[in-house]
Amino acid sequence: MVYDFNNIEKKWQARWAKNKTFKADSYSKKPKYYILDMFPYPSGSGLHVGHPLGYIASDIYSRYKRHKGFNVLHPQGYDSFGLPAEQYAIQTGQHPAKTTQENINRYRQQLDQMGFSFDWSREVRTSEPDFYKWTQWIFLLLFDHYYCNISNMAKPVRELIEHFEKNGNESLDAVCSFDTPQFTYVEWSGFSENEQQDLLLNYRLAYLSETEVNWCADLGTVLANDEIINGVSDRGGYQVTKKKMKQWSMRIGAYAERLLKGLEKIDWPESLKEMQRNWIGKSIGAKVLFQIEGYEKKIEVFTTRPDTIFGVTFMTIAPELDLVQEITHPDQKEAVTAYIDETQKRTQRERMADIESCTGVFTGSYVLHPFTQERIPIWIGDYVLADYGTGAVMAVPCGDQRDFDFAKHFDIPIKNIFKNVSIEKKAFTDKEISVIDNSDFLSGLSYEKAIKIVIQKLELQGSGEGTINYRLRDAIFSRQRYWGEPIPIYYKDKLPQPLKLKHLPLDLPEVENYLPTAEGYPPLGNAVTWAWDTQKEKVVENKLIDNQTIFPLELNTMPGWAGSSWYFYRYMDAQNSDAFVGNKAAQYWREVDLYLGGSEHATGHLLYSRFWQKFLFDINLLPVEEYAKKLINQGMILGNSAFVYRKPGTQSYISKELIHESEKLEPIRVDVNLVNSSDELDVESVRKWQPQFENADFKLNNGVFKVGREVEKMSKSKYNVINPDEICEQYGADTLRMYEMFLGPIEQSKPWNTSGISGVHNFLKKYWRLFHEGNDIIVKDEQPSKKELKILHETIKKITYDIEHFSFNTCVSGLMICVNELTALNCHSRAILSPLTLLLSPFAPHLASEIWEKLGNQNTIDHVDFPVANESYLIEDTKNYPVSFNGKMRFTLELSIDLDNSAIQEAVLQDKRVVDYLEGKTPKKWIIVPNKIINIVY
RNA sequence: GCUCGGAUGGUGGAAUUGGUAGACACGUUGGACUUAAAAUCCAAUGACCAUUGCGGUCGUGCGGGUUCAAGUCCCGCUCCGAGUACCA
pLDDT in tens, A849-900: 999 999 999 999 999 999 998 877 776 543 333 332 323 333 333 333 344 4
| Angle at A325 (CA atoms; ends A320, A330), nearest 5 degrees | 140
User: Can you give the pTM of this predicted structure?
Assistant: 0.89
Residue from A813, A817, A832, A842 nearest A771 by CA: A832
Write phi, then psi, for A613 (nearest 5 degrees): -60, -50
Q: How far is the CA of A642 from the C1' of B52 (A)?
A: 53
Residue A602, CB, strand B, below 7 Å: yes
Q: How far is the CA of A271 from the C1' of B83 (A)?
A: 9
* A384 touches A324 (CB < 8 A): no
| Alpha carbons A738 and A115: distance in angstroms, whole number | 12
| Alpha carbons A502 and A143: distance in angstroms, whole number | 17
**Nearest nucleotide relative to A759: CA against C1':** B25
**Nearest nucleotide relative to A390: CA against C1':** B88
Residue A713, CB, strand B, below 7 Å: no
Q: How far is the CA of A543 from the C1' of B26 (A)?
A: 65
Residue from A107, A59, A109 nearest A596 by CA: A59
| Alpha carbons A133 and A563: distance in angstroms, whole number | 10
Q: How far is the CA of A912 from the C1' of B70 (A)?
A: 17
Residue A743, CB, strand B, below 7 Å: yes
> CA torsion A420→A425→A429→A431, rounded to 10°?
0
Strands A543-546 and A537-540: antiparallel
Q: How far is the CA of A933 from the C1' of B18 (A)?
A: 14
- Looking at residue A40, what DSSP letter applies? P
Chain A 784..843 CB hits on strand B (< 7 A): 807, 809-810, 812-813, 816-817, 820, 823-824
* A737 touches A624 (CB < 8 A): no
CA-CA-CA-CA torsion sign (A202, A204, A209, A212): positive
| Alpha carbons A328 and A366: distance in angstroms, whole number | 10
* A435 touches A418 (CB < 8 A): yes
* A793 touches A799 (CB < 8 A): no
Residue A472, CB, strand B, below 7 Å: no
Minimum-distance residue to B25 (CA–C1'): A759
Q: How far is the CA of A762 from the C1' of B29 (A)?
A: 21
User: Is A598 in a helix, a strand, or coil?
Assistant: coil
For chain A, the straight-line distance linking the first and the last C-alpha, in angstroms and rounded, comes to 55
Write phi, then psi, for A686 (nearest 5 degrees): -65, -40
Write phi, then psi, for A514 (nearest 5 degrees): -85, -10
Residue A740 Cα to chain centre, angstroms: 22
Task: Find residue A464's DSSP bridge partners.
Answer: A288
| Alpha carbons A397 and A486: distance in angstroms, whole number | 49
**Nearest nucleotide relative to A925: CA against C1':** B19
**Nearest nucleotide relative to A399: CA against C1':** B88
Residue A172, CB, strand B, below 7 Å: no
Q: How many helices (H) and strands (E) does chain A have?
A: 30, 37
Q: How far is the CA of A748 from the C1' of B45 (A)?
A: 28
Q: How far is the CA of A739 from the C1' of B30 (A)?
A: 29
Contacts of A629 (CB under 8 A, 6+ apart): A266, A267, A591, A592, A593, A594
Q: How many CB atoms lie within 10 A of CB A241?
A: 14
**Nearest nucleotide relative to A933: CA against C1':** B68
* A324 touches A336 (CB < 8 A): yes
**Nearest nucleotide relative to A270: CA against C1':** B4
The one-letter amino acid code at A815 reads L
Q: How far is the CA of A383 from the C1' of B88 (A)?
A: 10
- Looking at residue A426, what DSSP letter applies? S
| Residue A551: exposure state from Cβ atoms within 10 A (0-12, 13-18, ≥19) | middle
Residue A382, CB, strand B, below 7 Å: yes
Residue A404, CB, strand B, below 7 Å: no
Residue A303, CB, strand B, below 7 Å: yes
* A823 touches A765 (CB < 8 A): no
Residue A768, CB, strand B, below 7 Å: no
Chain A 417..456 CB hits on strand B (< 7 A): none
Residue from A114, A42, A45, A51 nearest A597 by CA: A51
Residue from A473, A502, A507 nearest A487 by CA: A507
Chain A 894..913 CB hits on strand B (< 7 A): 910-913
Q: How many CB atoms lie within 10 A of CB A912?
A: 8
Residue from A804, A807, A783, A714 nearest A752 by CA: A714
* A611 touches A255 (CB < 8 A): yes
The one-letter amino acid code at A280 reads I
Strands A314-317 and A241-250: unpaired
Q: E strand or H helix at A918, and its extent?
A: helix A912-918
Chain A 345..374 CB hits on strand B (< 7 A): 351-352, 354-355
Residue A318, CB, strand B, below 7 Å: yes
Write phi, then psi, for A270 (nearest 5 degrees): -55, -40
Minimum-distance residue to B4 (CA–C1'): A271
Task: Find residue A537's DSSP bridge partners.
Answer: A534
Residue from A286, A289, A264 nearest A274 by CA: A264
Residue A224, CB, strand B, below 7 Å: no
Distances (CA, A) of A406 to A321, A773, A817: 19, 84, 67
Half-sphere exposure of A648 (CA within 13 A, CB side): 3
Q: Which nucleotides of B are covered by protein (CB under 7 A)?
A: 3-5, 11-16, 19-20, 23-27, 39-42, 67-69, 81-88
> Cis omega (within 30 of 0) on the bond before A882?
yes
Q: How far is the CA of A755 from the C1' of B11 (A)?
A: 9
Residue A497, CB, strand B, below 7 Å: no
Residue A470, CB, strand B, below 7 Å: no
Residue A530, CB, strand B, below 7 Å: no
**Nearest nucleotide relative to A928: CA against C1':** B19
- Looking at residue A182, what DSSP letter applies? P
ipTM: 0.93
Minimum-distance residue to B81 (CA–C1'): A749
**Nearest nucleotide relative to A885: CA against C1':** B20
Q: How far is the CA of A263 from the C1' of B77 (A)?
A: 34
**Nearest nucleotide relative to A281: CA against C1':** B87
Residue A853 has a pLDDT of 93
Residue from A2, A1, A5 nearest A850 by CA: A5
Q: How many CB atoms lie within 10 A of CB A21?
A: 16
Residue A319, CB, strand B, below 7 Å: no
Q: How far is the CA of A110 from the C1' of B36 (A)?
A: 40
Residues with pLDDT less than 50, chain A: 226, 877-904, 907, 912-913, 916-917, 920-938
User: Which residue blocks in A601-732 are alpha helix, DSSP H?
Assistant: 605-618, 683-689, 724-731
